[in-house]
Amino acid sequence: MRTLLLLCLCGFAACALDTLDYDDYDTDAKKQPANNGSDQTVGVDARGHRPLDRQRERYNPNRYVPPPVSGGSRYRGRPSTPTTGVAQVEEKVEQPESGGCTHASEEMGVLCPNGCELKTMLQKQERNVKTGINVLKPQVDELVRSSNNIYTYVTSMEVSLRERQRIIRDNNNVVGQYTERVEEQHTYIKETVDTIFPSNIRVLQGVVDKIRQKIQKLEEAINTQRAQCSERCTTKCPIPVVSGKECEDIYRRGGRDSQLYLVHPDTFYPPYKVYCDQTTQNGGWLLIQSRLDGSVEFGRRWDSYRRGFGNIAFDIGKGYCETPGEYWLGNDRISQLTKMGPTEVLIEMEDWTGAKVSAQYQQFTIQSESSNYILSVDGYSGNAGNCFLEGSSELFGVNRTMTIHNGMMFSTYDRDNDNWNPGDPSKQCSREDGGGWWYNRCHSANPNGRYYIGGVYTRDMAKHGTDDGVVWMNWKGSWYSLKAISMKIRPFFASR
């Protein structure tokens, strides 16, 4: 009894320790202690992390047991054993000698003296009768066999006749059923041909007429486009004369207008176009990421994020491109720019009411592709919330730790480098959350997520039921997709 009680206590302690090893998150508002020891209520909309699962193997006692054999017996009862006895032999009663012949049947006594002649006659008749019997016996046997064969044949004929009669009845029933179905189908076909087909033909004729009209409109539009494209197109975004290694260098060389420029950080590689913000915080910002209107798809492959994609800038009628577009500069270029020296990053965001906040990090570096572009940041300031270093402020414990982005590798849906079961294609942050990013398990910030117009969205609207919008959780939570967000970098100088 003591041993059993000890085992129960050990099992209870193991379960308690196992429970303490996990920090589950309950979406129905669960209280957990914060760092200062006070209780805080977890936000019901915090969804950026993927909580740990607790799964235990269980013994399955369900084994298949074949049922006992049932049904009729193959044997009948044994026959009763006949009673055996000793056959009694009757003693022959000798008749007294009467001087005559003994009768054929001893019970009949003795014939008269002249009965010997009768005996002789009967013996002769007996031989003749036996000869006739011997002749008739094979014929009788043959007749018996013939009768049996005829009886068997007649019986089989009766069975066959009954079976044929049953088949004839069944066939008559089937023929009657098919006749009814054919009549119904004939009626339906006649009705369809007489009423539905003409109506459908008229509908299709109307569709063909509408398609013909659309084709005519398309032909007119094509002809108009051909007329407009007859002359050579001119570049609407002229490149300014001033250029430099990056936007800070351009600013110092006189490029004080915020617009598209040409930068050339490394002489071993060709120059490329960027958008420079020369007004915010004394300028010098190079735009590496921009989301404005959802016109560019950010759910792309690894190579696309490595090279860069999107529209750098637009001309709104002033003769130069002063309006930035939606684009990602490219991980190779971002890594090259941030590794040239100390670099700071400014993340500006706007909601659908026009409110604006920012997050700034004095140190920002992206490693090369050989390390999968590891993110390194430090020195936070701003009013948007420190997602990169602290994770989501709505979560606690391990659930909050798994939303920190600092130190993470870059992931896309075709290159899984996050911390959520690496190598498992069913648990991949980038595939669920809509874009390439430095995912942990999974995010507190998702600037490259899916663009939702209006801000608020729901699980039903999300492709995988996750908060896959343009999210900055520490400002608007998991289920609010920002209207605009941008990331800008420039060389960091302590004298600023």
Cα distance between residue 1 and residue 244, in whole Å: 85
Phi-psi region of 317 (alpha: psi -120 to 50; beta: other; left: phi over 0): left
The two tokens of residue 326 are 């939606």
The two tokens of residue 312 are 């750098």
The pairing of beta strand 471-472 with beta strand 272-277? unpaired
Cα distance between residue 93 and residue 89, in whole Å: 12
The length of the chain in residues reads 496
Tell me the CA distances in angstroms from 176 to 164, 165, 171, 181, 473, one per residue in order.
18, 16, 8, 9, 73
The pairing of beta strand 259-263 with beta strand 343-350? unpaired
Tell me the CA distances in angstroms from 73 to 66, 90, 346, 355, one per residue in order.
20, 48, 90, 89
Check: CB of residue 400 under 8 Å from CB of residue 35. Answer: no
Cα distance between residue 449 and residue 143, in whole Å: 102
pLDDT tens, residue order, the chain (496 aa): 555 555 555 554 444 444 433 333 333 333 343 333 333 333 446 777 888 765 543 323 333 433 443 454 433 444 555 555 555 555 554 544 444 555 555 655 555 555 566 677 777 778 888 888 888 888 888 888 888 889 898 888 989 898 989 999 888 888 888 888 888 888 888 888 888 888 888 889 889 999 999 999 898 888 887 777 666 555 567 888 899 999 999 999 999 999 999 999 998 999 999 999 999 999 999 999 999 999 999 999 999 999 999 999 988 777 778 899 999 999 999 999 999 999 999 999 999 999 999 999 999 999 999 999 999 999 999 999 999 999 999 998 888 999 999 999 999 999 999 988 877 778 889 999 989 999 998 999 999 999 999 999 999 998 888 999 999 999 999 999 999 999 999 998 876 5
Helices (H), 330-472: 331-338, 387-390, 398-401, 429-433
Cα distance between residue 114 and residue 121, in whole Å: 12
The model's pTM is: 0.57
Q: What's the pLDDT at 407?
A: 92
Q: List the CATH code of the domain at 247-491.
A: 3.90.215.10
Q: What's the pLDDT at 300?
A: 95
Rounded to a whole number of angstroms, the CA Rg of the chain reads 53
3-state SS string for 458-495: CCCCCCCCCCCECEEHHHHCCCECCCEEEEEEEECCCC
Exposure string of 162-199, with b = 16+ CB inside 10 Å and e = fewer, is eeeeeeeeeeeeeeeeeeeeeeeeeeeeeeeeeeeeee
Residue with tokens 């369809």: 192
Q: By CB neighbour count within 10 A (0-12 exposed, 13-18 middle, 19+ buried), where does 93 fall?
A: exposed
Check: CB of residue 187 under 8 Å from CB of residue 180. Answer: no
Phi, psi of 213 (to 5 degrees): -65, -40
Q: Which one-letter amino acid corresponds to residue 64?
A: Y
285-288-292-294 Cα dihedral, nearest 10 degrees:
180
Q: What's the pLDDT at 315?
A: 81
- Chain-centroid distance, C-alpha 361: 41
Peptide bond into 442 cis (omega under 30): yes
Residue with tokens 């941008």: 486
Cα distance between residue 302 and residue 380, in whole Å: 28
Cα distance between residue 111 and residue 21, in whole Å: 127
